[in-house]
Structure 1
Amino acid sequence: MLTALKVRLYPNKEQQIALAKNFGCCRFVWNHYLNKTNTQYQEIGKGLSYCDMAKDLTQLKKHEDFLWLQEASSSALQQSLRNLEAAFRNFFEHRAKFPKFKSKHKKQSVRYPAGFSIKKNGIQLPKLGIVKAVISRKISGKIKSVTVSKDSTDKYFAAMLLEIEDIPTTKEGKISGVDLGLNSLVTVFDGETIYKVEPIKPTRKYAK
């Protein structure tokens, strides 16, 4: 079973700069390949798959004009491509609207699918080190991913996706049904026998 836990982050100045680069790189990758997929779809009627985009991204990061992409976490950039592929799939399966270009003036986020761990004083993230965090409860289960976001008030948060064991349910006793009626105040059925509770005097009085 999957559940989520959101905690407040307190990155230092250097970590804030690094996060800004990660936000910007992931936003660029999303917008770049959204545009590239749209263009290819218009030309040949087929968009780019995740594998197509990932191969192209590897070459793009080596280009002298885009070397700055190497400053971001590679796993976070790849996650942006997976998110884009999922957004297109949801659109074509009529579960969501067509993917939109991301703006730097709105909420910023980056998802880390790997390379993180919980430390005593916070959360260790790729290329950031340990970011101070306020974790209110003990974390149980396996952390599948960590999404770091920055809201309009410049506050930072981390949403952790946790995989925990399903809580077993016990089925004891009989199945009961309760019905409120007119002729009888309450009718109870336990799966075998029907019990009726007759209206008490105040109930009869005010029912009239």
Structure 2
Amino acid sequence: MIYKAYPFRLYPNKDQQALIHQTHGHCRFVYNHFLSLWNTAYKEEGKGLNRSSMSKLLTKLKKQDETAWLRNVDSVALQTSCEQLVDAFGRFFKKQNNYPRFKSKKNAVQSYTTKNTNHNIAIVGNKIKLPKLGLVKFKQTRALEGRIMRATIHYHASGRFSVSITCEVPEFQPLPKTHQA
């Protein structure tokens, strides 16, 4: 099986736009918070955090009174931010990327990713069902193939919203060789 992404334009209403912006901010906060924790843990103990410890710390963080606002958005998106940080450190240690940097609110494109669990991402007519957002109008330019795995919601500085849906599709079968040009 291979993964294939399908980008589409989103047309959320005002309430959905506010929730998307809120989710972007919360995911950025979680990423930066755990990057800071990773840096301090590495300086003190000589090793960073792992995925399971970050997950436990995220649960504790959501239960605290001063960060209770983290419960307002999609929990899977917050967990995905932690996973992206772990992946960024994995690429850094393999010398594929530079050291992970803090995310900024001033980036031209803000995005967050959520996973498909219990069919919470689905296409219903000319709308897409997303966690916490409900049905959002979108422009479907082609049909999806395979099983939906995750969706990444982007906000561009120009004011556009888009969604990239990643699907799991069977591998392509090579065509038979004809030995002709």
- Which range, TM-score by smaller chain? over 0.9
Task: Show the counterpart of 2:165.
Answer: 160
- Which AA in structure 2 matches 1:46? K
Q: What does the per-residue CA deviation read over 1:37-95, in whole Å, with 9 as the maximum and x for residues that have no partner?
A: 01100111010001111100101101000000000101110010000000000000011
Task: Show the counterpart of 2:130.
Answer: 125
- Name which one, 1 or 2, has greater alpha-carbon Rg: 1
Task: Show the counterpart of 1:58.
Answer: 59
Find runs of 4+ consecutive structure 1 residues off by over 2 angstroms: 170-176
Q: What does the per-residue CA deviation read over 1:111-156, in whole Å, with 9 as the maximum and x for residues that have no partner?
A: 0112311111221111110111001111111111100010111110
1:173 CA displacement: 3.5
TM-score, structure 2 normalization: 0.93
- Which AA in structure 2 matches 1:112? T
Residue 31 in structure 1 maps to residue 32 in structure 2: yes
- Give me the whole-angstrom Cα distance separating, in 1, the residues matched to 2:162 and 2:55: 28
SS in structure 1 at match of 2:102 = coil
- Give me the whole-angstrom Cα distance separating, in 1, the residues matched to 2:135 and 2:175: 42
- Give me the whole-angstrom Cα distance separating, in 1, the residues matched to 2:168 and 2:69: 34
- Give me the whole-angstrom Cα distance separating, in 1, the residues matched to 2:130 and 2:36: 29
Structure 1 residues not aligned, in runs of 5+:
177-208
Q: How many residues are aligned here?
A: 176
SS in structure 2 at match of 1:3 = strand
Q: What does the per-residue CA deviation read over 1:165-196, in whole Å, with 9 as the maximum and x for residues that have no partner?
A: 222123343488xxxxxxxxxxxxxxxxxxxx
Residue 150 in structure 1 maps to residue 155 in structure 2: yes
- Give me the whole-angstrom Cα distance separating, in 1, the residues matched to 2:180 and 2:97: 40
Report the identity percentage.
38
Residue 76 in structure 1 maps to residue 77 in structure 2: yes
Task: Show the counterpart of 1:19.
Answer: 20
Which segment drifts farther, 84-93 or 137-146?
137-146
Structure 2 residues not aligned, in runs of 5+:
none
- Give me the whole-angstrom Cα distance separating, in 1, the residues matched to 2:32 and 2:55: 14
TM-score, structure 1 normalization: 0.81
RMSD between superposed Cα atoms in Å: 1.3
SS in structure 2 at match of 1:61 = helix
